[in-house]
Amino acid sequence: MVEAFGKYAEAKASNEDADHLRIIDFLKSGEMVPLEKLISMNVGSDPYTYIAYPAAGSFIDYLIATNGLGKVKQAYQMGGQSNKAGDEIWVNVFQYSLESLEKSWLMWLAENFDQDIKIVEVYFEKLL
């Protein structure tokens, strides 16, 4: 979550939509990686780091926009400082599993950036 706040601040200072648009591009190209993998990776040495950074910024922006900064701060304080934040943190704070939050986030992106929700549906179909 530390990286996520950094990307969030960077976006607010420069281009608020840049991270969101990158994630949409990753969905369209079939490059998107499950959020669970991105959260648990060793950022910097993992080959998917190029996806992890914009995903972190986009996801934290989504969480703040839909749940408020207080909830995000609570998740951070419950152990979200670790890259290995367990699903219990997401359920305890947001009342949804990380997988459910990922689905909501990606649907939110599609809706807010006038994208066909099919790109999200195809992404999740590929994960099955």
Domain boundary assignment for the chain: 2-119
Q: What's the predicted TM-score (pTM) here? A: 0.89
pLDDT at 10: 83
Res. 83 pLDDT band, cuts 50 70 90: very low
Closest CA relative to residue 98, chosen from 58, 48, 54, 39: 39
